[in-house]
Structure formats: C-alpha cells, structure tokens
Amino acid sequence: MQFSSGKIKPHVGWLALPFALVFFAYFVLPLVLTIIVSFWDYTDYAIIPALILDNYIYIFDGCFSNEGGLCLTLKTYLSTFFFCFFTWLITLVLGFCVAYFLAFYVNSIPLQVCLFLVCTIPFWTSNVIRMVSWIPLLGRNGLVNEFFLSLGIIDQPIEWLLYSSFSVILALVHLYTLFMIVPIFNSMIRIDRSIVEAAYDAGASHRQIIFNIIIPLSKTGIIIGSIFVVTVVMGDFLTIGIMGGQQLASVGKIINTEMNYLQFPGAAANAVILLIITIFIIYVMTRFIDIRKEL
Amino acid sequence: MKNDKFSRRQMLKLSAGTVAATGLGLYAPAVISSDPITLRYLGTAVSMGDEVQKKLFEDTGLKVKFIAVTTDEVTKRVLTQPNSFDIVDTEYFSLPKLVPSGNILGMDTKRIKEWDNVTSIFTKGITPKGKKVGLQGTAPSKVMYLEGSTGKKFANDVTQYATLIPTIYNADTLGIRPDLIGRPITSWAELLNPEFKGKAATLNIPSIGIMDAAMVVEAMGEYKYPDKGNMTKSEIDLTMKIFTEAKKSGQFRAFWTDFNESVNLMASGEVVIQSMWSPAITAVKAQGKDCIYQPLKEGYRAWAAGFALPKTTKGKTADAVYEFVNWYLSGWVGAYLNRQGYYSAVLPTAKQYMSEDEWGFWMEGKSAKGDIVSPTGAKLASAGEKRDGGSYEDRMGGVACWNATMDENKYMVRKWNEMVAA
C-alpha cells in the first residue's frame, strides 16, 4: 500500500530495470513495429515502407454501406464475440463453483493444495492434444453418438456435436476454466472467515452470504480471470479452427491467413484493431474494480 | 500393432545405422581431406524420410539438415530470411512471389547432368508421348527459365538458367470412400452434390482451394474460365458465391488445413468425398479403410516442386548443392518418390531402380503381379490391382490446371475469408 503514494526510494529503482528491459524488448518494441508496419504498403513478395491508411480502409471496406449485409470484419468480430461471451460465462460459473468448493468446503490445507493440483493435471499435456482428444468422442461415429445410438435415444448420429459452435465452446471451456479457478481461488482464500461467521451469526442465509459477501470480495479474482479468458479467446484461431472444422470465422484466423499469404501490413492492421478492441473490453471490466488497489 | 511398427522401425534404423557406419569407415579418408558439408535444406519434406539422408551420405558424403515447414512458411522464409538455408525445395506456384524478390538464383542447367532427360512436362508442357498438358495456372513450363543467373524476370525462351530444378510432382483429384458412397463418381461436380450434404470437405488453403472450387464450378456447367489459375475479380466472386451458398446450406462437414486432418476426416467416415492429396489416400488405406483417388472426367489439378538456390549460397556450398541435386536426379530418390505415388522428374534413371512390376504398376497403369509396397514396407496394393487413374500418360496427360498464384491474389484471399465467415 505504501507504493501507491508514488514515492519509491531512489536506490532501489534499478531493481525494476531487468524487467523493464525484458518488457521493452519483447513487448514494447514488437508492438511499436506492428503499429508501424500496419501503415506500410505491400505486394505479393515485399513490404514497402510508407504511410498509408489503405490497410485500415480495406478492413472496414463495405462496413458503412447497407449493401450486401454485414461486412467481413463485422461478421468476424460478431462471431469472435459470440465465442468469447459464452466461453467467459461458462468458465466464470464453473470456475467460481470449483474455487468456492476448494476455498470453503475443503478444510485441510494439504487436501486443498492436493485438489488444486488435480485441477492443473490437464495442463501437463499440450493444449492441441487436449483439444484434439474431443474429436473421437464427438464425431459422427464417435463414442457419444455410438452410446446414444446403442441406448436407442437417437436413431441418427447427432451432427452438431463436432465442427460446430458447440464443440468450439466446449473445447475453449475445457482449455481455459483453470484460468478462472486460479485467480478466484486466490481471492477467496484471503477472505476473512470471521466475516462469513459474523454474517451467519447475524442470520444471513447461504444465498445472502454468497451474493453479499463472497462475490463482492472475490471480485478481483473474477476480473483477473475474466481478463485472462477474454484476451486468450479473442486472439484464438487454433481451437476455433480445429473444433469448428475451419468453417467458423475468428479474427485470429484472418490474421493467420494474411500472415501465410505474406500480407504482413494487412495482418498488422488487423492485429492493431483487435488490440484496441480487446483493450477496450479490459478497460470496461477494470471500471468495476481497481485492480492495483486490491492486489 | 503399435509395437510391431516400432520394432520394425527400430530394426530399420539399426540396419541403416550399420550401413552408414560401414560407409563412414570406407569413405573416411575422403571425409577427412575435404570438410564434410551439411546442407541446410528448407522445404516441406513431405516425401523425405531418414532413408534418403542415409543413402545420400553413403553415396556422396554429403549431409542434409532438414528445416521442415509448411508450403506458405517456405515462401515466407525465402523472402524474409534468405540466408537461413543453403537449398530450398519449393513449389512452382510460389515462383511469381519469389523470383521478383531476387532472393533466388537461376540454376545453371549445364551443371545438371540429367537436365536433358528431365521430363518434357516441365520443359515443353507435353507428356513424354507428346500429349499436351493443360497449362492453366502457374504451369511449370511457363516459369521454367530465367534470363540470367540473377534475373528477376521469367524468360520467354529456353535459357541456360532454370528457376527450379524439378524434383517431385503429381496430379491431384478428389478422394472418395467407395464403400460409403456405393456408386461411381466421375465428375468434380459431385463435391457439391446435395446427396453428400454434411459429408463433403475441401481444404482451407485459399490458393489451392480456389482451384478445386473452379474445377467444380466448371464441371457443374456454371461457367467456363478462360484461365482458372488467373481469375478476374468477377470470376472470383462467382466462384466464391457458389461455394458460399453450398457452405451455408451445410454441404461441408469441415475444411482442412493440415494433411493429417484430411486423413482423419476420411478414415473416421465424417467425410466421404473431399479434396485430397495422394499420400493421404495411402494413409487412409493403411488404416484398413477403402479409399480411392478418383480420376474425374474434367481432369486433374497438378502441382510441382523443385530445388532452388538462394542468392546467399556461394562457393563450396553451391558446389555441394549441385552435387546434391545431381544425386537427387540420379535415380534412387526418383524410385523412392515413384513408390509413394508421386512422380520423379527424370524418369529413365528412376526406372533403373524399380522392379519391372513396380514400374508397370506405378507408371504404366498395369495390374500388379505381386504385392506393391511403399518405401517403408507398408502394403499398398495386392496382385491384380491397378493404380487409381492408370498410367503416367493418362494421369499427367489429363491435367487440366496447375496450382497458381493469381494476379488478384489479395482479393481472392479476402473473398475466401468471407466464405469462411459466412
């Protein structure tokens, strides 16, 4: 809390230097370069230093006229927001429940640590493997369909289990729920138990305790988890590609295609727009809470 | 099954290792007197196994370090990091992007021993028996020569300098699951046949996908392209409109970007008809599933790859590159490629390394007399079977167009993205 006054003792300032350098070299510099390149011109085989707005104009081409429905960029962002919103909602509910259980129902600390580690086990394999392993389960001749068919619940395989919005969100939730659990758990564990006990003694119901005490006090964790999930899903193209059968649009996929076709300035412009939109979402989220104060 | 495979592979490695060790012993003096050169080989390496490296070292004392990346990544590397490799294996349709950059040199055909025996498909655009090959798209014969060793423009006439020394090529078509379709398929138009709704697939690599799409549109009788490989904006619009409608109505189960995805889609029965590459068919068959590389009446979409020299490769390394290329064309690799269902650039040398039965099956469209096996020992066909599509003449002579880079490439990629987003 002392740091918030802005006075750092001069002789310890250099301690921040290594991180500042890393931050500069691997974040600030590439970002600045991306922004610069987004104003460059390009051909099939070269990028040409220039200061043009064409790449941006191209992105919003047709977005401000009413002909032919939504433009590519809007459609793509809507599709990306759709995945982002539902993934966020489901990971939030799931993550909150798991964290709540771990923090308040498991009383011994060793068991808590143990169960927490169990949650991380899926992360010992690569995320591509975790994703691809859904395919034999959900496919037309997959385990789920075969199971339902053998029980006679369905007489035709369910097609929308795989290569659909459903499978994309399922995989995203599977991949990123932990990102919610960790920060929420971290906030919950710091809630003073005596507050909960006091509320209980004063006659608060279980529901009231959750909504009036636990949720407000774990807000920091919820927001941090949300930032993780939202930023990761906004830029995703691998999961949406593989689980969506490459038929569903995402901003990441468009950038990826442009990179493959050496349209670096176009990709850079798209990346800048994506960055602005993602930063805006995070800005709105952090309006709900001052993260620095809470940490 | 897994264990069998493993032990066989280990056995192969062991025996190959022994051979290499013996080779090392024999050639030791030569290796010491001249520094052993390791060539950095940039390419997709789809067709290059360990065996090739072993054999190369045995025959020439050269070593190769593969930098295996995707087709698009090869192009990117040539343009952005031309000094990160000594030799590049790339496709002809990338040349309109690579050559104007000046990052690759023309290769001196006088230093290529077998140059005069390179199949006429590359040099003249006709099959060895004189049949004209379709030249729509970036046909190799249109971009074969440079004006000088450092030219940035394609030459109209035959010159001493080749853009790429051809290595491997094939004629692509649709793959089908005959057991799940149960009737003959003869036209590209079947890809959009509502009968296969939700069971068709195509690839999400715009530059290749658009060519397959054009074959389909033409087969449906919707439009006849003057040049499928170089569409105008309105032709791109038309093609993508037809595919967008099909996609919206649920024709496609999936699009694929990776070779293995196409294998899984087909082997699992998610898809019964799709754009496919020849080794993927082999991989599906290896899983015991019936799969045909179906010849179609409208012809094939062909592709070809070859070796190029980056401008940064000089002196001794450049000499080694020429030695490597000459070895590559000298027959052993040719036979190795032909046995995988690809074609080699110099046919006479490859023939010397193949049995009569193999040559008859792969190149002449004859019935196999015994089992036909791949270079890794997997059985690909039994006695009496014939190759899908028949002989070299029938398959390469039936080529309708080549993979291409269009003038309207940027517009095409955008329209393709729009289809994916639709």
User: Which pLDDT score, from 0 to 100, does residue B8 have?
Assistant: 42
Structural domains in chain A? 68-294 (1.10.3720.10)
Q: What is the mean pLDDT of residues B99-124?
A: 92
CB contact under 8 A, A246 and B256: yes
User: Which pLDDT score, from 0 to 100, does residue B46 have?
Assistant: 65
User: Which pLDDT score, from 0 to 100, does residue B22 have?
Assistant: 41
Give the gap in angstroms from C-alpha A279 to the nearest C-alpha of chain B. Answer: 24
The more confidently predicted of residues A107 and B14 is: A107
User: Which pLDDT score, from 0 to 100, does residue B34 have?
Assistant: 55
Q: What is the pLDDT of residues B388-403, one digit of tens each?
A: 999 999 999 999 999 9
Q: How far is A186 from A222, CA to CA, in rounded Å?
A: 10
- Closest residue in chain A to residue B73, using alpha carbons only: A260
Q: Pick B79's closest partner by Cβ from A58, A262, A266.
A: A262
CB contact under 8 A, B255 and A247: yes
Residue B282 CA: distances (Å) to CA of A42, A215, B292, B330, B341: 40, 57, 9, 26, 9
Give the gap in angstroms from C-alpha A165 to the nearest C-alpha of chain B. Answer: 13
- Closest residue in chain A to residue B74, using alpha carbons only: A260
CB contact under 8 A, B420 and A75: no
Contacts of A254 in chain B (CB under 8 A): 417
- Residue B135 near residue B93, CB atoms below 8 Å: no
Judged by a CB distance cut-off of 8 A, whether residue B97 touches chain A is yes
Q: What is the mean pLDDT of residues B235-244?
A: 95
Q: Pick A44's closest partner by Cβ from B72, B96, B420.
A: B96
Q: Pick A45's closest partner by Cβ from B98, B247, B269.
A: B98
Q: How far is A44 from A55, CA to CA, in rounded Å?
A: 14
Residue closest to B326 by CA, chosen among B145, B107, B160: B107
User: Which pLDDT score, from 0 to 100, does residue B351 have?
Assistant: 95
B145-146 β-sheet, strand order: B107-108, B161-162, B145-146
**Percentage of residues of chain B with pLDDT beyond 70:** 91
The more confidently predicted of residues B99 and B31 is: B99
User: Which pLDDT score, from 0 to 100, does residue A10 have?
Assistant: 64
Q: Pick A246's closest partner by Cβ from B79, B97, B254.
A: B254
* B194 confidence band (pLDDT: 50, 70, 90): very high
User: Which pLDDT score, from 0 to 100, does residue B35 have?
Assistant: 65
User: Which pLDDT score, from 0 to 100, does residue A77 have?
Assistant: 92
Give the gap in angstroms from C-alpha A163 to the nearest C-alpha of chain B. Answer: 7
Mean pLDDT (chain A, rounded): 88
User: Which pLDDT score, from 0 to 100, does residue B150 have?
Assistant: 86
- The reported pTM is 0.81
The torsion defined by the Cα of B316, B321, B322 and B325, in degrees rounded to 10, comes to 160
3-class SS string, chain A: CHHHHCCCCHHHHHHHHHHHHHHHHHHHHHHHHHHHHCCCEECCCCEECCCCCHHHHHHCCCCCCCCCCCCHHHHHHHHHHHHHHHHHHHHHHHHHHHHHHHHHHCCCHHHHHHHHHHHHHHHHCCHHHHHHCCHHHHCCCCHHHHHHHHHCCCCCCCHHHCCCHHHHHHHHHHHHHHHHHHHHHHHHCCCCHHHHHHHHHCCCCHHHHHHHHHHHHCHHHHHHHHHHHHHHHHCCCHHHHHHCCCCCCCHHHHHHHHHHCCCHHHHHHHHHHHHHHHHHHHHHHHHCCCHHHHC
Q: What is the mean pLDDT of residues B170-185?
A: 95
Residue B10 scores a pLDDT above 70: no
Question: Of the spans B81-85, B322-326, B404-408, which averages the highest pLDDT?
Answer: B322-326
Q: What is the pLDDT of residues A65-96, one digit of tens each?
A: 766 677 888 989 999 999 999 999 999 999 99
Q: How far is B76 from A260, CA to CA, in rounded Å?
A: 8
Residue B299 scores a pLDDT above 90: yes
User: Which pLDDT score, from 0 to 100, does residue A13 have?
Assistant: 79
Residue B36 scores a pLDDT above 80: no
User: Which pLDDT score, from 0 to 100, does residue A120 have?
Assistant: 86
Contacts of A141 in chain B (CB under 8 A): 268-270
Q: What is the mean pLDDT of residues B44-53?
A: 76
CB contact under 8 A, A261 and B409: yes
Q: What is the pLDDT of residues A236-258, one digit of tens each?
A: 999 998 899 888 889 998 998 88
> Which of A238-252, B177-191, B219-233 has the weakest average pLDDT?
A238-252
Mean pLDDT (chain B, rounded): 87
User: Which pLDDT score, from 0 to 100, does residue B30 have?
Assistant: 42
User: Which pLDDT score, from 0 to 100, does residue A259 have?
Assistant: 87
Which of A41, A55, A70, A72 would you mutate first to test chain B, the one with the most B CBs within 10 A? A72
CB burial class (10 A; 0-12, 13-18, 19+) of residue B269? middle
Contacts of A258 in chain B (CB under 8 A): 413
User: Which pLDDT score, from 0 to 100, does residue B13 have?
Assistant: 45
**Residue that the structure tokens 């010159």 belong to:** B159
Which of B414, B415, B416 would you mutate first to test chain A, the one with the most A CBs within 10 A? B414
CB contact under 8 A, A135 and B198: no
The more confidently predicted of residues A62 and A194 is: A194
CB contact under 8 A, A246 and B75: no
The more confidently predicted of residues B38 and B9 is: B38
CB contact under 8 A, B79 and A46: yes
* A274 confidence band (pLDDT: 50, 70, 90): very high
Structural domains in chain B? 2-170+302-356 (3.40.190.10), 172-301+370-421 (3.40.190.10)
User: Which pLDDT score, from 0 to 100, does residue B20 have?
Assistant: 43
Judged by a CB distance cut-off of 8 A, whether residue B264 touches chain A is yes
Q: What is the pLDDT of residues B331-363, one digit of tens each?
A: 999 999 999 889 999 999 999 999 999 999 999
Residue B72 scores a pLDDT above 70: yes
User: Which pLDDT score, from 0 to 100, does residue B29 have?
Assistant: 41
Q: Pick A254's closest partner by Cβ from B100, B409, B417.
A: B417
